[in-house]
């Protein structure tokens, strides 16, 4: 087994950035916006960082979600139905974990209020919102960290270094996939409609009756999310953009259907392909199998790198037996912890975060282009499409 240092062909590889330990009295005051299941995971990760932070206020349209965050703040956080009231508080930053259609309005308002922002992915809900969010960030003095946690995950950073150093040779195809079988394990906990402001939850979405399915599985309805292409695929295409130094496809194909969850808007079974300058990316995903879970394969002329959230392996062309794979690396710390730590560090240092706005916009855009091809372009589209923003 050779080391990563010996395996790198090119020289001058940068060292991983170190994280700064905050002082005990240097507390970051945080507002929480959107306090559902994903927010719980983000706050669990934040609790495991070295940063001193305090939850000052929480906003959510569902009462039990607000109360859960207030409880974890030891009763100190004020609770609000309207997120704008959180922005009026004496806080340094907000963490936004709302449904996708609220991401840009909430983030733009937070930036205007002079707050730093951690924004869950996908950072945009529509293609048009990309320019709006980027302009809002770059015209402000605030920090915005996109929720692309692989950007802070140790083995993803090392894998990108390997690829950019030329260790795989020429990479002309990247395979991405994410297979799930969530239907068997999704919680059936009833929603107390008396504690929910459904109109506020809808926001800019068309008026429609309350639905348990839409409230719980909103990612799979076009009014609120974009299905797998703006959820899971967003994470993987971000790694491709980062490693390959190219972030906009020239052509997109998407073959998809609803074979498992007919009640959804978005397809549950997908085959998609994207052509970038000099290489192609394919994606496979479905909601009826979880074998192999999710990952990426960068296939090069000299070696192939296979990576998921546990680690990566490198397989050299022509090697066999003990020589294949020739390199392995595993991560033992969830990258979301490091990503939250990077955000808190940047709030103090004012440095650019690991996942700046442009990376999040590009990752969301790729999935949105796939959805555009599926919905409106007969399954394929050149990009930029006529009349659409690039």
Mean pLDDT (whole number) for 212-219: 95
- Say if residue 325's pLDDT is above 80: no
Would you state the pLDDT for residue 58? Answer: 98
Q: Mean pLDDT over all residues of the chain?
A: 91
What CATH code would you report for 155-332+357-382? 3.30.360.10
Q: What is the pLDDT of residue 190?
A: 87
Lowest mean pLDDT among 9-23, 155-169, 286-300, 302-316: 9-23
- Which among 100, 122, 119 has a CA at the least distance from the CA of 110? 119
CA–CA dist 83, 79 (Å, integer): 10
Radius of gyration of the chain (CA): 21
CB-based contacts of 194: which residues, under 8 Å, 6+ apart?
A: none
Kindly state the percentage of the chain with pLDDT values over 90: 83
> Residues 6 or more apart from 332 whose CB is under 8 A from it?
none
Cβ atoms 249, 369 nearer than 8 A: yes
pLDDT value at 389 more than 80 = no
Average pLDDT over residues 178-184: 82
The pTM of this model reads 0.92
Q: How confident is the model at residue 139 (pLDDT cuts 50, 70, 90)?
A: very high
* Sign of the Cα pseudo-torsion (86, 92, 98, 100, in order): positive
| pLDDT above 60 for 323 | no
pLDDT higher than 50, residue 9: no
Res. 1 pLDDT band, cuts 50 70 90: very low
Domain map (residue ranges) of the chain: 28-150, 155-332+357-382
The DSSP element (H or E) to which 176 belongs, if any, is: strand 171-179
Alpha helices in the chain (DSSP H): 4-7, 37-47, 63-72, 83-87, 103-112, 129-138, 154-164, 198-202, 212-216, 232-244, 335-349, 357-376
pLDDT grade for 326, boundaries at 50, 70 and 90: confident
CB 147 within 8 A of CB 120: yes
Please state the rounded mean pLDDT for residues 105-120: 98
pLDDT at 21: 38
Give the residue-averaged pLDDT of 289-298: 93
- Please name every residue paired with 31 in a beta bridge, in sequence order, or none if there are none: 57, 94
Distance CA 266, CA 231 (A): 12
Return the bridge partners of 303, or none: 316
Q: Is the pLDDT of residue 145 over 80?
A: yes
The pLDDT of residue 187 is 63
Residue % of the chain over a pLDDT of 70: 90
Stretch 114-118: mean pLDDT, rounded? 98
- Contact between residue 242 and residue 249 where contact means Cβ atoms under 8 Å apart: no
Q: Are the CB atoms for 177 and 307 separated by under 8 Å? A: no
Phi-psi sector, 357: left (phi>0), alpha (psi -120 to 50), beta: alpha
pLDDT exceeds 80 at position 4: no
Q: Taking 60 as the threshold, does the pLDDT of residue 314 lie above it?
A: yes
Position 253 scores a pLDDT of: 98
pLDDT digit string, tens, across residues 188-200 = 678 999 999 999 9
Report how far residue 338's alpha carbon sits from residue 100's, in angstroms, rounded to the nearest whole number.
23
Summarize the confidence of residues 4-22 as an average pLDDT. Answer: 37
pLDDT band at 385; cut points 50, 70, 90: confident
Query: Which CATH code of 2.60.420.10, 3.10.350.10, 3.40.50.720, 3.40.50.150 fits the domain covering 28-150?
Result: 3.40.50.720
Do the domains at 28-150 and 155-332+357-382 have one common CATH topology?
A: no
**pLDDT given at position 327:** 87
pLDDT-wise least confident of 9-23, 88-102, 282-296: 9-23
What gap in Å lies between CA 159 and CA 13, rounded to an integer?
A: 12
pLDDT of 243 above 80: yes
Q: Across residues 119-123, what is the average pLDDT?
A: 98
pLDDT at 19: 34
The contacts of residue 269 (CB under 8 Å, 6+ apart) are 256, 257, 258, 259, 260, 285, 286, 287, 288
- Residue 306, classed as helix, strand or coil, is strand
């Amino acid at each position: 087994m050779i080391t990563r240092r010996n395996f790198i062909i090119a020289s001058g590889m940068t060292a991983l950035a170190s994280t700064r330990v905050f002082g005990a009295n240097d507390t970051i005051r945080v507002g929480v916006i959107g306090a559902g299941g994903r927010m719980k995971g983000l706050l669990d990760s934040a609790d495991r960082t070295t940063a001193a932070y305090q939850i000052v206020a929480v906003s959510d349209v569902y009462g039990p979600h607000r109360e859960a965050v207030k409880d974890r703040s030891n009763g100190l956080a004020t609770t609000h139905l309207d997120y704008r009231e959180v922005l009026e508080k004496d806080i340094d930053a907000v963490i936004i974990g709302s449904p996708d259609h609220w991401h840009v309005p909430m983030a733009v308002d937070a930036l205007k209020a002079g707050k730093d922002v951690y924004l869950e992915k996908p950072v945009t809900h529509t293609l048009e919102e990309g320019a709006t969010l980027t302009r809002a960030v770059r015209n402000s003095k605030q920090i915005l960290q996109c929720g692309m946690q692989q950007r802070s995950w140790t083995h993803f950073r090392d894998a990108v270094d390997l690829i950019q150093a030329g260790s795989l040779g020429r990479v002309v195809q990247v395979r991405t996939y994410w297979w799930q079988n969530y239907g068997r394990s999704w919680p059936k906990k009833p929603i107390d409609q008396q504690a929910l402001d459904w109109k506020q939850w809808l926001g800019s979405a068309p008026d429609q009756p309350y639905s348990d399915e839409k409230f719980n599985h909103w990612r799979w309805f076009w009014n609120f999310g974009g299905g797998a292409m703006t959820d899971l695929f967003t994470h993987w295409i971000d790694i491709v953009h980062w490693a390959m130094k190219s972030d906009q496809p020239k052509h997109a194909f998407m073959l998809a259907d609803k074979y498992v969850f007919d009640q959804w808007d978005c397809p549950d079974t997908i085959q998609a392909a994207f052509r970038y300058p000099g290489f192609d990316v394919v994606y496979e995903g479905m909601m009826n199998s979880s074998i192999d879970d999710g990952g990426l394969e960068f296939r090069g002329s000299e070696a192939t790198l296979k990576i998921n959230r546990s680690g990566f392996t490198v397989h050299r062309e022509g090697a066999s037996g003990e020589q294949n794979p020739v390199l392995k690396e595993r991560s033992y710390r969830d990258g979301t912890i490091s990503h939250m730590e990077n955000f808190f560090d940047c709030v103090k240092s004012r440095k650019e975060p690991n996942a700046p706005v442009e990376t999040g916009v590009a990752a969301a855009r790729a999935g949105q282009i796939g959805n555009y091809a599926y919905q409106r372009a007969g399954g394929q589209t050149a990009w930029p499409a006529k009349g659409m923003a690039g």
